[in-house]
Amino acid sequence: MERLTETKIPVKGLWWKLTGLVLVLYSVIAGLLIDVPQLPVIHQSIRNLFYHVCMWFGMFVMYGTALVYSIKYLARYRLEDDLYVSGAVYTGLFFGTLGLLTGMLWAKFTWGDFWTNDPQLNGAAVSMMAYLAYAVLRSSIDEVAMRARISAVYNIFAFMLLVIFLGVLPRLADSSLHPGKGGNSSTMEGLDMTMRMVFWPAVIGWILIAVWLLTLNVRYRKLKLKIHLNQTQS
Amino acid sequence: MLELRQKYAINGILLYVFSTIFVVQLSFGRVIDDTTWIALFWIILLFAAFNAVSKSFVQESSARRLYYFTLASPVSVVVSKMIYNALLMIFLGGLSLGIYTLFMGMPALGMALFLPAFVLGCIGLATAITMVSAIASRTGNNAALTAILGFPVVLPLLLLLIKASQLSLSRSVADIQMLKLLLSITLIDAVVVILAIVLFPYLWRD
């Protein structure tokens, strides 16, 4: 029977959670108050940059974490690592959903439609499908160690292909509505100083919040797993 | 070789390809534009691949799996499965191409460009679905799961293939854009094969 070790949170303490909270609060308030450059088409909706793009940052950090812990699990078979993998995937899915919703809202007001045929959007849709498939795969295996191993394999496999897909395909495409791809000028270059002062703190803040959610998720499900293992033992 | 042991399997897939193309012909008529032709062809081939290749691990009995386990190393098992499935897929794809041309006509594809993309695509579909089928075979309800797990994995490949086929419509000699596409398809194929070789041993043991 595999034993569960004590919860080791990567970074202990309250300070980083508070930092995350403060940064997110700051970005929400400042994002609505600061002067933004007047650009054609997007106008004031450029403020959505502070919310929409941060969701994707949070999601990618979570999926990256899931990949690292998948490799760790296959290297040393500790159930704790598997909890991190699945926790990171679930948190990443949560952030991905928020990113899709904020993005759809933004798209409706700037491009005139909730969904456009854009390589970036295709990538987002495929990665959502891949990780939902991961969730289905997990729920279809009952045995704990087996579930951890098989789903770690699938996670690595899907992630690698997604990286190629997200990295290669938008650059091959002739046109994209998203900035910075397909010959469009990048918003990051056009981003003026005041916007940067809100944007990067917002990104860091949301990533910290994502990590916090991940640790909460892992601790909760570790308790559930302990109960499950105790029941099956007795 | 699974298909030789179970004759009905290969016959079923052949009949599936034939009837799908026939349905396409009935519903679209003979005249469709070139983009639709390409899209339909790859969709037909995608589902044929799922039907044909997903059998490779799913339909093996657990006793036979144990027998392979004692006999061969996991890497040689997965490599042989992938080679076999790639050949099967190229055969199946060529056959579908023939039947499809017979029923639906053939747009002016630059064959020198279409065929490499076609062969690479068949190899990629076959290897990716082989791996996914290996994952799905370790779960309870594997028939549906192969499709669910496999779809996000093969979709990037499929989009690249459709794009490459569309490019081969308008030209007959390779240019830089076409080479880039073919190179990324090759890259995906290579990554799938490498990942399968690295990851399969973890799936194989109990």
Residue with tokens 């995937």: A89
For residues A191-201, average pLDDT: 74
Q: Which domain holds residue B120?
A: 2-204
pLDDT confidence of A174, banded at 50, 70, 90?
low
Which B residues, 168 through 197, put their C-beta within 8 Å of a C-beta on chain A? 177, 180-181, 184, 187-188, 191-192, 195-196
Q: Is A193 an 8 Å CB contact of chain B?
A: no
A151 → chain B, closest CA residue: B135
ipTM of the complex: 0.82
Across B175-190, b (16+ Cβ under 10 Å) vs e yields eeebeebbebbeebbe
Structural domain count, chain B:
1
pLDDT confidence of B63, banded at 50, 70, 90?
confident
CB contact under 8 A, A164 and B163: no
- Min mean pLDDT across A183-192, B14-23, B71-80, B144-153 is at A183-192
Of A133, A167, A153, A63, give the one whose Cα is nearest residue B150: A133
Residue with tokens 């899931």: A66
Q: How far is CA B37 from CA B13, B29, B109, B123, B182, in A?
A: 21, 12, 11, 21, 20
Average pLDDT of chain B, as a whole number: 83
How confident is the model over B161-185, as pLDDT tens digits?
888 888 888 776 667 778 888 888 8
Of A170, A179, A166, give the one whose Cα is nearest residue A46: A179
How confident is the model over A2-31, as pLDDT tens digits?
455 555 555 567 788 888 888 888 888 877
Position A72, amino acid: K
Report chain A residues whose CB lies below 8 A from the CB of B147.
none
* pLDDT for residue A165 is more than 80: no
The pTM score is 0.82
CB contact under 8 A, B152 and A160: no
How many other C-beta atoms lie within 10 A of the C-beta of residue B122?
24
